[in-house]
């Protein structure tokens, strides 16, 4: 997929700070050394501003750039990765609030899991594939608030079923609660 300019997606620019606040202790200070983590219990390994080393390596190789330590990631590179790997292609078609939930879940749990959670919230088969049934259900949403609540509830269940819940569960529950609350405030009446 070709890189898009984040400014072409105003909702991305609105949702990005909420998501980044979950990923980095100093979200408004891209590249702050305290935004780096390498928790031995986290399968993501070395992470800077929410981007893991393996994902950064892949992005750099795809763009014919030499690999380098993720601590050197620029904000432009990070924005491009978040936009192309997590916001696109589905979030621009989602109603405000629900777009942020799917985006944040994609970042933290993976895009396929984000789609699965959405499908469960919509009451359809949860296969993680965005097909015509998912598309039709999204277009037919009449009560965004109910779907946002159902998404948050399902996300909490998914976290409880995750292998590392005992280690990271309290943080995941906080994240779900904060993102759901922020998403509810974004719903257009």
189 pLDDT band, cuts 50/70/90, is low
pLDDT digits (tens, 9 = 90+) for 68-83: 999 999 999 999 999 9
Burial 119-146 (b: 16+ CB within 10 A, else e): bbbbeeebebebeeebeebbeeeeebee
pLDDT at position 2 over 70: no
CATH architecture assignment, domain 95-189? Up-down Bundle (1.20)
Percent of the chain with pLDDT over 70: 97
Where do the domains of the chain lie?
Answer: 7-88, 95-189
- Average pLDDT over the chain reads 95
Q: What is the mean pLDDT of residues 29-38?
A: 96
Q: Tell me what pLDDT residue 96 has.
A: 97
Determine contact, residues 107/55, Cβ cutoff 8 Å: no
Q: Tell me what pLDDT residue 188 has.
A: 86
Calculated CA dihedral for residues 80, 43, 91, 48, nearest 10 degrees? -30
Percent of the chain with pLDDT over 90: 91
pLDDT at position 31 over 50: yes
pLDDT digits (tens, 9 = 90+) for 117-168: 999 999 999 999 999 999 999 999 999 999 999 999 999 999 999 988 999 9
Model confidence, pTM: 0.94
87 pLDDT band, cuts 50/70/90, is very high
d(CA 176, CA 88): 21
């Amino acid at each position: 997929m070709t890189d898009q300019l984040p400014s072409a997606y105003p909702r991305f620019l609105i949702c990005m700070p909420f998501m980044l606040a979950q990923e980095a202790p100093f979200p408004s200070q891209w590249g702050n050394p305290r935004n780096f983590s390498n928790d031995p219990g986290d399968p993501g390994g070395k992470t800077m501003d929410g981007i893991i080393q393996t994902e950064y390596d892949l992005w750099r190789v795809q763009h014919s750039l030499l690999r380098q330590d993720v601590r050197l990631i620029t904000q432009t590179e990070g924005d491009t990765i978040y936009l192309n790997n997590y916001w696109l292609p589905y979030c621009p078609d989602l109603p405000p609030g629900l777009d942020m939930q799917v985006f944040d879940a994609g970042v933290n749990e993976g895009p396929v899991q984000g789609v699965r959670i959405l499908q469960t919230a919509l009451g359809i088969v949860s296969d993680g594939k965005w097909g015509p049934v998912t598309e039709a259900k999204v277009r037919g949403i009449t009560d965004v608030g109910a779907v946002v609540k159902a998404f948050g509830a399902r996300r909490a269940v998914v976290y409880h079923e995750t292998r590392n819940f005992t280690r990271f569960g309290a943080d995941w529950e906080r994240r779900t609660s904060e993102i759901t609350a922020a998403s509810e405030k974004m719903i257009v009446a």
